[in-house]
């Protein structure tokens, strides 16, 4: 009897211990499952992210890249699927990463960027510093280092080629305020064919002036007025008849412009473009509103410089409404080191230039900033519409920008 009881006791205890053991085992397995599921999700996501990077890399080299075989080997056999769809000027890149049966999708919308989107772009900054009285609203890029003194202010995404923020004294004294992202190590080359492409567009359905050393062009509502010598009378034509696609180009001559712009235009020259007087929109946009309905937009494209003429009209400030592009030169003022004090440059638009150039001078003491010549004051306002709108055939950066990223 005692033996039977012992057997029952042993069997009973064994059963209880077995049940407890199984329960512990289940708990441990579930805990490991949790970790591994999270890990598998993350790996699948990382594969998809790699897919987006792979697509971006290929698209940057070949804008029409679209893989015929959409499945790639990545951390496994055919574990990555990439597709590219186009809708107008927007491409949607989709990458699906698969890891151990877990699939994660990332969808990114991208669009070719134009130089007109920049509030400020330079290839070379030279010896000009951003100071405490400077502010830039809108996208900023330089292929040089950003040189700062006395806390300048940047409102918008900032990118630079150099990973160095160059401080005049030290970080504590000079560090800029950047409202928006700052991504160093980004190179965006100014193309060598921006002007050539504009010329080709003007030849197709715009207007090309040839055989003259200069063209005086005046925007006057629906009309375009032009002449070849300052003493000549203007020839007046309907703008849409002169250049149906909105591109006017001067081949081997300087372009001198002024007036009130109505509609979408790009004007340029493979020499210099001079601003002889105000160049303004007929309907001035609210520069802060990227959806502003103003129908007017101007691109000024120059092989060399865009220059504020040293004349009577420009001695008491100047108003410029345009996206400016200087392929080899920069935005500057004629005789800026010696001309009389000329007030303020009121710009609504953006500036892209190969070489940052001066528009005025101050006394040698940078901290006091006593105006000496030219345009000592800059009132540069970024036309937010340029985030969405591009003047006709304005040079492209040949790089894609991300419109939205969805995981």
Partner 1 sequence: MILIINSVNQTASENTSQYNSDLISQQNLVSIVELLEYDFSRIGYCENTDSILSPENMITYADSNKIIFWTDIAVSSSNFRGNGTKEELIYELGPDVNETPNPFDKLLYRYLKGDKKDASNLGITEFKITYFDNLNNKLSHPINTKLISYMQIDLKVEDCYGYDTDNNEKLHSEKFPTVFWKQIRLATKNMSR
Kindly list the residues in this chain that would bind partner 1 in the complex (CB under 8 A). Answer: 16, 20, 23-24, 27-28, 30-31, 34-35, 37-38, 41, 90, 105, 107-109, 155-158, 165, 175, 177-183, 291, 387-388, 401-407
Give the list of residues 6+ apart from residue 37 with CB closer than 8 angstroms, or none: 102
Measured CA to CA, the distance from residue 318 to residue 342 in angstroms comes to: 9
Instruction: Rank residues 152 and 329 by Cβ distance to partner 1 and give the closer one.
Output: 152
Instruction: Rank residues 109 and 372 by Cβ distance to partner 1 and give the closer one.
Output: 109
Instruction: Rank residues 94 and 266 by Cβ distance to partner 1 and give the closer one.
Output: 94
Closest approach of partner 1 to the CB of residue 40, in Å: 12
Give the list of residues 6+ apart from residue 73 with CB closer than 8 angstroms, or none: 79, 80
Closest approach of partner 1 to the CB of residue 402, in Å: 5
Whether 144 contacts 125, CB under 8 Å: yes
Measured CA to CA, the distance from residue 64 to residue 223 in angstroms comes to: 39
Instruction: Rank residues 153 and 377 by Cβ distance to partner 1 and give the closer one.
Output: 153
**Structure tokens belonging to residue 264:** 């979408």
**Structure tokens belonging to residue 115:** 């130089």
Run of H or E including 390: none
Measured CA to CA, the distance from residue 142 to residue 136 in angstroms comes to: 13
Instruction: Rank residues 15 and 203 by Cβ distance to partner 1 and give the closer one.
Output: 15
Measured CA to CA, the distance from residue 13 to residue 260 in angstroms comes to: 98
DSSP one-letter code for 59 = H
216 phi/psi in degrees, rounded to 5: -95, 120
Closest approach of partner 1 to the CB of residue 35, in Å: 8
**Structure tokens belonging to residue 50:** 């790699």
**Structure tokens belonging to residue 30:** 């579930």
**Is residue 334 classed as helix, strand or coil in its secondary structure?**
coil
DSSP one-letter code for 326 = E
Letter string b/e over residues 12-29, b meaning 16 or more CB atoms within 10 A of that residue's CB: eeeeeeeeeeeeeeeeee
Whether 106 contacts 125, CB under 8 Å: no
Instruction: Rank residues 175 and 208 by Cβ distance to partner 1 and give the closer one.
Output: 175
Closest approach of partner 1 to the CB of residue 162, in Å: 14
Instruction: Rank residues 149 and 309 by Cβ distance to partner 1 and give the closer one.
Output: 149
Whether 243 contacts 223, CB under 8 Å: no
**Structure tokens belonging to residue 174:** 């000079």
Closest approach of partner 1 to the CB of residue 55, in Å: 14
Instruction: Rank residues 165 and 224 by Cβ distance to partner 1 and give the closer one.
Output: 165
Closest approach of partner 1 to the CB of residue 147, in Å: 15
Closest approach of partner 1 to the CB of residue 327, in Å: 26
Instruction: Rank residues 93 and 267 by Cβ distance to partner 1 and give the closer one.
Output: 93
Measured CA to CA, the distance from residue 158 to residue 379 in angstroms comes to: 19
Closest approach of partner 1 to the CB of residue 10, in Å: 12
Instruction: Rank residues 185 and 233 by Cβ distance to partner 1 and give the closer one.
Output: 185
Closest approach of partner 1 to the CB of residue 84, in Å: 16
**Residue carrying the six token digits 């149906």:** 244
Closest approach of partner 1 to the CB of residue 241, in Å: 33
């Amino acid at each position: 009897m005692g033996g039977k009881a012992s057997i029952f006791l042993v069997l009973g205890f064994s059963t209880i211990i077995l049940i407890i053991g199984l329960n512990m085992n289940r708990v441990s397995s579930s805990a490991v499952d949790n970790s591994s599921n999270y890990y598998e999700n993350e790996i699948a996501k990382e594969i998809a992210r790699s897919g987006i990077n792979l697509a971006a890399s290929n698209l940057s080299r070949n804008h029409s890249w679209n893989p015929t075989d959409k499945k790639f080997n990545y951390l496994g056999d055919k574990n990555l699927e990439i597709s590219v769809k186009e809708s107008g000027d927007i491409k949607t890149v989709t990458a699906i990463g698969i890891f151990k049966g877990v699939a994660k999708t990332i969808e990114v919308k991208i669009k070719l960027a134009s130089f007109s989107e920049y509030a400020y772009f330079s290839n070379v900054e030279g010896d000009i510093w951003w100071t405490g009285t400077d502010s830039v609203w809108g996208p900023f890029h330089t292929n040089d280092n950003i040189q700062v003194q006395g806390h300048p202010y940047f409102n918008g995404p900032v990118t630079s080629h150099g990973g160095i923020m160059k401080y005049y004294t030290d970080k504590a004294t000079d560090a800029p305020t950047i409202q928006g992202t700052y991504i160093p190590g980004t190179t965006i080359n100014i193309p060598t064919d921006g002007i050539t492409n504009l010329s080709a567009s003007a030849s197709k359905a715009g207007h090309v002036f040839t055989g003259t050393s200069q063209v005086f062009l005046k925007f006057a509502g629906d009309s375009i007025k032009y002449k070849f010598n300052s003493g000549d009378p203007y020839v007046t034509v309907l703008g849409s008849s002169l250049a149906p696609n909105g591109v006017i180009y001067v081949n081997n001559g300087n372009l001198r412009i002024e007036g009130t712009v109505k509609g979408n235009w790009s004007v340029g020259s493979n020499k210099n473009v001079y601003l002889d007087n105000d160049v303004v929109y007929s309907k001035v946009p609210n520069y802060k509103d990227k959806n502003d309905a103003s129908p007017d937009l101007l691109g000024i494209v120059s092989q060399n410089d865009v220059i504020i003429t040293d004349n009577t009209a420009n001695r008491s400030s100047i108003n410029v409404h345009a996206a400016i592009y200087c392929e080899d030169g920069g935005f500057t003022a004629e005789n800026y080191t010696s001309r009389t004090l000329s007030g303020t440059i009121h710009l609504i638009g953006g500036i892209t230039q190969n070489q940052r150039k001066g528009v005025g001078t101050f006394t040698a003491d940078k901290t006091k900033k006593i105006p000496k010549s030219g345009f000592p004051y800059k009132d540069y306002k970024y036309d937010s519409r340029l985030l969405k709108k591009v003047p006709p055939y304005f040079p492209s950066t040949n790089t894609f920008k991300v419109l939205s990223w969805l995981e």
